Amino acid sequence: MPVIKYPRVRDPLFYEWDRKAQKCGLRHTVYAVNGDQYTGEWLDNLKHGKGTQIWKSTGAIYSGDWKFGKRDGYGSYSILDPVTKEYKKVYTGWWENDQRGGQGVFFYPNGEHYEGEWSSGLRSGWGKMHYTDGSVYEGQWLTDQPNGTGLLLLPNGNRYEGGWKDGKKHGPGKYFYLDKGQLLEGIWAADIPKCGVLVDFGRDNAPASTESPLPKIELQDPAGVLAEAQARFDDSHN
């Protein structure tokens, strides 16, 4: 009985080309159509593992961890200074889904820098911000603004400790006027003290103390007065 041979079914040629083009594991520099270049590890044709990306349009460079094509893990992002042609570090820290997420340090173009927690690319959680005028804020953040409890230290040594909302002093707090030797303890709303108690605080050693001490006002229950003010404040903002 004759044996009939059928031609072997073969996949289209482009399937083979595609398999050969799939990137997996450590690869040398791969160039994108727009000129961007990546050197590092791949998985299933996606950047995955350790790698370095350079963007042609801006000259920016990221070196660190990748996960399924996105920056995820620990890494550093720098930009190219158009004048000096040197790289300036912008952010070093943790990333989540291609955005800053977790602990990290960010350097702003004007010389300010922030070190602390991030979420979805924004300052959120606990962090410390150094401003150009010498002020320092350390405390809680929410969507890029001081929000919660925090300490603001001014260049002259004065400081505020207390509540914040949308980047402004809000709620119960204490303002230490160390230059005058006074302390204001009260309730703030949108950066404005609404009520409180002002007392002398280290006035004898203050560099710019007032000519005479504050008159003493006897209150039967100073804490009770502030508590009542706080209750009224809470009622008006609920």
Tokens 């799939």 belong to residue = 22
Instruction: Please indicate, yes or no, if residue 39 is contained in any of the structural domains.
Output: no
User: Stretch 213-232: mean pLDDT, rounded?
Assistant: 55
User: Stretch 116-136: mean pLDDT, rounded?
Assistant: 98
Residue 110 in 3-state DSSP? coil
What is the per-residue pLDDT across 196-210, written as a single tens digit (0 to 9) for each? Answer: 898 877 666 665 566
Of 105-119, 184-198, 215-229, give the lowest mean pLDDT range.
215-229
**Cβ neighbours of residue 180 under 8 Å, at least 6 residues apart?**
203, 206, 208, 209, 210
**Which tokens go with 48?**
């995955």
Range of the domain at 170: 108-211
Instruction: Please indicate, yes or no, if residue 133 is contained in any of the structural domains.
Output: yes
Q: What is the DSSP letter of 120?
A: T
Cα–Cα dist 8/181, whole Å: 94
How far CA 101 is from CA of 31, 68, 69, in Å, comes to 28, 17, 16
Q: Based on the structure, what is the number of domains in the chain?
A: 1
Instruction: Out of 26-35, 105-114, 180-189, give the one with best mean pLDDT.
Output: 105-114
CATH of the domain at 171: 2.20.110.10
Cα–Cα dist 166/145, whole Å: 6
What is the per-residue pLDDT across 168-196, written as a single tens digit (0 to 9) for each? Answer: 999 999 999 987 788 999 999 999 999 98
Instruction: Please indicate, yes or no, if residue 143 is contained in any of the structural domains.
Output: yes
